[in-house]
Amino acid sequence: MSKQFLINGKFKNISPFDRAFQYGDGIFRTFVVENKKPRHWKYHYKKIVEDCLAIKIKPPKEKELLSDIHSLFKTNKKAVGKIIISRGISERGYKFNKDILHNRFLIKTKMPSYPKASFKSGVNLFVCKHKLNPSIPSGVKHLNRLENIVARQEWTSDQYADGILLDHDGHVIECISSNIFMRIGKIIYTPKISHVGIKGVTRGLVIQISDQLGFKVKEVTFNLNKLLEADEVLITNSLFGVMQVKKIKNRSWQHQESASLFNQLLENLNS
């Protein structure tokens, strides 16, 4: 059986004293590996460093992570890589020694198969009842994802690609596994990540590409009713890239074959 994970560059067991296991004390990033190379790597590594520093973990060196990827991903077949950076090993209790050493984990899994219809005609989104609580620090992809797990249990049907998450004020924040955008005319809006939510790598790329395409991008707060008034709604993450939304509650959108933000983003993200 081929190796599916590495810990600090080696194939070994995880310690139950690791703080990632005990407390979710760490961060993670998920990305596509194609032809043995991680897609959009410089953006992922930048986020890894930023998130580590935000919770005061010394970031791993880039060459260490690239060496791990090279060791684990031996074929050109497209697959999924997930990097977890744990604060390290400590005794029970929230306190830890100042000289604690982080642990780095690399996991390899097969690439999900997304239905072609999702890209051709769009996807449906579920509106979750669970409301997100303020996160400290916001924007960090930390290991504490219990809220996402609770929200994902709200539906079992395959008709929904993801679920929209709101905060307690009713503002749209993100989806369970993706970021969300809406277009009204030539202006693109995405939720402002200020007190809760994750700033995904593809989210950042979409903001950058949209600006280059001549769209005005605004990071603002808006509610679900405003989202339902949009000309076009998109969701993004690092595995599927971008998908167009065709239905939220009773509001439907027709897939736009031309003059669509979706088509332009899809072309640029894959180039």
Three-state DSSP class for residue 17: coil
Q: How far is CA 254 from CA 132, 169, 185, 244, in A?
A: 30, 30, 15, 10
Q: What is this structure's pTM?
A: 0.92
The pLDDT value given to residue 261 = 81
Which tokens is 255 given? 């897939």
The pLDDT value given to residue 257 = 57
The pLDDT value given to residue 4 = 93
Per-residue model confidence as pLDDT tens digits over 119-142:
988 999 999 999 999 887 888 999
Q: Among residues 7, 5, 3, 6, which one has the least CA distance to residue 103?
A: 7
Three-state DSSP class for residue 117: helix
The pLDDT value given to residue 256 = 64
Residues 6+ positions from 233 with CB-CB distance below 8 Å: 125, 180, 181, 182, 183, 227, 244, 245, 248, 253
The pLDDT value given to residue 1 = 43
- Determine which helix (DSSP H) or strand (DSSP E) holds 263, and give its type and residue range: helix 261-269
Q: Among residues 167, 168, 164, 193, which one has the least CA distance to residue 176?
A: 164
Which tokens is 249 given? 């509650």
- At residue 226, what is the residue type? K
Strand partners, 126: 163
The pLDDT value given to residue 260 = 74
Per-residue model confidence as pLDDT tens digits over 147-188:
999 999 999 999 999 999 999 999 999 999 999 999 999 999
Three-state DSSP class for residue 159: coil
- Determine which helix (DSSP H) or strand (DSSP E) holds 244, and give its type and residue range: strand 241-248
Q: Among residues 175, 149, 155, which one has the least CA distance to residue 235?
A: 175
- Could you tell me where the DSSP H helices lie in 84-200? 116-120, 146-152
Handedness of CA 7, 10, 16, 19 (dihedral sign): negative
pLDDT < 50 positions in the chain? 1
Which tokens is 3 given? 């190796």
Burial of 74 (0-12, 13-18, 19+ CB in 10 A): exposed
